Amino acid sequence: MSRGAVQSVTKSGYADGDGFGYGQLPILGGVPSSTGINISQATAINVSTVYACIMTRAKDVARCTPRILPATGARSQEPDTKHPLAKIFKRPNGQQTWFEFCVQMHAGFLLRGNAYAVILRDGRGNPTEMIPINPDAVTVREASDGLVFYNVARYGLYQMHALRNLAFTIPEEDVFHLKALSFNALIGVSTIGIARDSIGVAMGLDQQAARFMANGARPSGVLMTDKALSTAASDRLRDQWNSLRAGISNVGGTAILEEGVKFDPLSLTSVDLEFIAQRKFQIEDIARWWGIPLHKLGVAGEVGKLRLDQADQAYVNATIMPDLDMWEQKFIQKFDLDTGSPAYIADFDERRLLRAEEATRINNQRLKVMSGLATPNECRAEEGLPPMPGGDVLMFPVNIAALGSDVSGSGADGAGRPQAGDPPPPTNGSVPGDGAQGLI
């Protein structure tokens, strides 16, 4: 830390006058929305739409298996399993699988716009573990000479033990940092910071609905009669009605009313319907912040004119692929994969997200074999089936060949233009030039 004066980029979580210029929220805290509700990681994740958006996107990214591939060549090459990162991609630390690690990191990235993991190295400088850190526990600091450091607070005995050999302030080369939209290249904009009002409205509607049910729930109907009923009679009638109508076992039962009593059911008012419409709009509004199509959130009838597989393809192209590109490029940059000899790339395999239903898959495999794009055994491997003898031969349609040649690539029989000045050969004994056409 003797390289020059060090200042906090986040200034205790605030970046400018209103505190939200860079989307940073106070460390281990939150900010109030316009509704007066405090928005933090803990409160935002309680909104069902926020939770569904975060978990859907994080789990889809985690499903894309990462691997180390040579920088030159196709994605079909065998991954390098001896590279130091290959172990990280299997077990990033002593407590988590890659799926668990990726979900935690990507959830932090989606909520706060930043995801952090401390890189532990062996004596040769090779990475051995990556310890994910809650974004609220990290403060980005920069020195006067442009160097960047991370103040990482330890929470829990596991983190204290795992990071015991590192100082409180960790240099940039030992921190894996995913950033969302940034205005200073150092920290990403916190999504729940800029979406605080949308989330706050959703939380307010949820609380209003809960209080409505707890304190002012509307009855399903009223019992009406023109006769005057005593208190005892009305109590007896109410108890009899509840015993008849309440409970699952009494659903669909027949009520027999006496003394001219009639049941008048209550319907939803325009105010009730508007409240329901507001809650649905908040689902759409929050989904926009995280780029999640509504059919992924269980909202019925929202696929539109697209087929479900087309809608999923659009979701992968527009939402998941940019996330995968970000992960791949950050691994290449942080671990200098493209500067070594040989050079490598990090590749996240997204094919599992695009796996179609069985009939479509079989037809696609058939087309690939018939078109010469894949061997039968390659298609069988994609379906989890064992290879078959003779199935490694790439096949080509017999009716496809270069223009003016046969399948072997040589000139076709009798093909070719005669040399200049040479008459065509006689056909069926006819004399050249006598106009004979020959016999067929």
Confidence of residue 320 (pLDDT cuts 50, 70, 90): very high
Q: What is the pLDDT of residue 284?
A: 92
In whole angstroms, give the CA distance from residue 257 to residue 221. 14
The whole-chain average pLDDT of the chain stands at: 80
Q: What is the pLDDT of residue 28?
A: 47
Q: Above 70 in pLDDT, residue 410?
A: no
Q: What is the pLDDT of residue 259?
A: 64
The per-residue pLDDT for range 6-27, each reduced to its tens digit, is 555 543 333 333 333 333 434 4
Q: What is the pLDDT of residue 440?
A: 41
Q: Above 70 in pLDDT, residue 434?
A: no
Provide mean pLDDT across the span 399-410.
Answer: 55
pLDDT-wise least confident of 34-48, 97-111, 284-298, 415-429: 415-429
Confidence of residue 238 (pLDDT cuts 50, 70, 90): confident
Which residue has better confidence, 246 or 319?
319
Q: Take residue 178 and report the two structure tokens written for it.
A: 């995913």
Q: What is the pLDDT of residue 400?
A: 66
Q: What is the pLDDT of residue 290?
A: 96
The per-residue pLDDT for range 161-194, each reduced to its tens digit, is 999 999 999 999 999 999 999 999 999 999 999 9
Going 370 to 371 to 375 to 380, the CA torsion angle's sign is negative
pTM flag (> 0.85): no
The per-residue pLDDT for range 44-60, each reduced to its tens digit, is 999 999 999 999 999 99
Give which of 269, 196, 222, 213 is closest to 44, Cα–Cα.
Answer: 196
Provide mean pLDDT across the span 329-358.
Answer: 89
In whole angstroms, give the CA distance from residue 88 to residue 350. 19
Confidence of residue 414 (pLDDT cuts 50, 70, 90): low
Q: Above 70 in pLDDT, residue 117?
A: yes
Q: How many CB atoms lie within 10 A of CB 327?
A: 22
In sequence order, the β-bridge partners of residue 47 are none
Give which of 186, 142, 184 is closest to 3, Cα–Cα.
Answer: 142
